[in-house]
Amino acid sequence: MTSHAAGDRLVRAPVRIADAAAATLLRPGDQVDVLAGARVVATGVTVVAVPESLVTPATGSLVPDGGSPDGALIVLSVPRRTAAALSGAAASSPLGVALC
């Protein structure tokens, strides 16, 4: 598990979360924990950007922009080493978020 550490430079990390609908609950400034299965990968990180909701013309249903069957892309402000941990975790497991 990785969290903010003193002196760790913050970077913006794009993260694909498995549940695209969960991205619609997020707002810039929200604090989240990032989960890979039952493992906590990052704690108390800040949401910087979330997909905008779009209405699909064919169905009229709401679909998050950046959403796909593979989830939705969000951007988090995290220490550089947390970005590396998130990238590694995403390579082997779908990621989820829990609001803090």
52-97 pLDDT, tens digit per residue, is 754 345 555 555 554 556 789 999 999 999 999 999 999 999 999 9
- Mean pLDDT taken over the chain: 84
- Residue 49 gets which letter from DSSP? E
Q: How many residues does the chain have?
A: 100
Q: Which of 100, 71, 86 is nearest to 35 (CA)?
A: 86
Is 4 part of any domain? no
Read off the pLDDT band of 3 (50, 70, 90).
Answer: low
Tell me the whole-structure pTM to 2 decimals: 0.79
Is 2 part of any domain? no
Please count the structural domains in the chain.
Answer: 1
Question: Is residue 71 within 8 Å of residue 16, measured between CB atoms?
Answer: yes
**CB-based contacts of 8, cutoff 8 Å, min separation 6:** 79, 80, 81, 82
- Expressed as residue numbers, the domain containing 70 is 10-99
71: which strand partners? 68
Which helix (H) or strand (E) segment holds residue 23: the answer is helix 20-23
